[in-house]
Every structure is written in structure tokens, then in C-alpha cells.
Amino acid sequence: MPIDASDLDLDVLLTIFGRWRLEEGEEVIDLADYAHVDKGPGCLLISHRWQFGIDQGGGKLGLFYSTRKDLRGPLADRFAQAIRGLVTKSTRLLAEEEFPRTAKVRCGEFEILANDRLLLPNTDASDAEVRPELDKALGRLYGAGAFQVERETDPSRRLGYGIQAKSAGGLSLDDLSKRLS
């Protein structure tokens, strides 16, 4: 999920994530600082169930969330659970005292990637299986037909989708959270 934060010093994430890492219940196992990698992953907090952080892939700053396990139910529900995780962690990060108050999250756009290339290769068959379920999850988030989905077409890359809400100008993380509950 893109974030506009021109004054963000990635070192502040080390402070914030350092505190989060010590909290009970999240099973945090690592804090990775990749801020030195040009257009790389930035800073990540890694738990047994998820990964969260700031990503600089493609030269754009974005919030990153990846699930590792414990998603349940039909695929549309699992997409919604993953998006809820992104929204929850992002809301918490933006509320942290050290995080720049000028930071703005663009809630109407994000990417979804399938990391398991064996289970879901980037093929038309996988797209035919995944797209209807993704559309259901996005319908809950933005409303039926109120979004565009563009698939990554390079078969050598992971199955992935760029999501763009048609009119998301006023959407906040709080709005998304309410729509996903």
C-alpha cells in the first residue's frame, strides 16, 4: 500500500519495531534492516505468522504485509484476513509518536502477490482460480465493481495483481478497517 512520507527516516522504524518486538503474543522472531539496499525491502518486522514493514520496491515507498500461516476459510476470506492484517499494522504504525504526522497512506491502491509459485504459478489457469475470490474480497473493501485489478503478465514473475479503487480519494485506514470487520 503506497505511502507518501517524504520526510520518513527509516531509522525511526528500528525504534518503533524494536519496541513491538519485545511485546508478548506476536511471536516476533526478527527485525531486519535493509534500508541500505536501493529500492529494497526497507525495514521489516518478522513473526511466525506475518511480516510487516516499509518497502521501497520499484523506487516507491509502501507499507508491506505478508502472511505466513493461520489464514482460514475460503480464498476470499483469506484475502480479506491478509488485507485486515495490513490495515491493522499500518494503523498502529501511523499512530506511533515517532512516525511522521505528514505521512499519508493511499488506501485505494495496493498489490497482492502469491509467493508459492508451485501452488499458484503465474498462469491463466491460476488467474481463473484466484480472480473471482479476489474480486469478492475487494468487493467487501471497495464495493462491487468499484475497483480495477491488473494482473502481472510476465510468467517468470509471481502471480500478482495491482489493485486500484476507482474513487478512493477520501478513504482512510479506519474506513478500510470498518469495511473488513
pLDDT digits (tens, 9 = 90+) for 91-145: 999 999 999 988 999 999 999 999 889 999 999 999 999 999 999 999 999 999 8
Q: At 35, is the pLDDT very low, low, confident or very high (cuts 50, 70, 90)?
A: confident
- The DSSP 8-state label assigned to residue 158 in this structure reads P
Nearest to 39 by CA among 68, 61, 19, 20: 61
Place of cell 510468467: 155
**What is the domain extent for residue 90?**
3-180
Nearest to 28 by CA among 12, 13, 49, 43: 49
Give me the number of domains the chain comprises: 1
Nearest to 108 by CA among 81, 148, 136: 148
Nearest to 110 by CA among 83, 132, 133: 83
Percent of the chain with pLDDT over 90: 67
Mean pLDDT of 44-70: 89
Q: Residue 128 CB: number of other CB atoms within 10 A?
A: 9
Give the span between the Cα atoms of 67 and 8, in whole angstroms.
Answer: 25
Q: Which residue has the higher pLDDT, 34 or 26?
A: 34
Chain centroid to CA 180: how far? 14
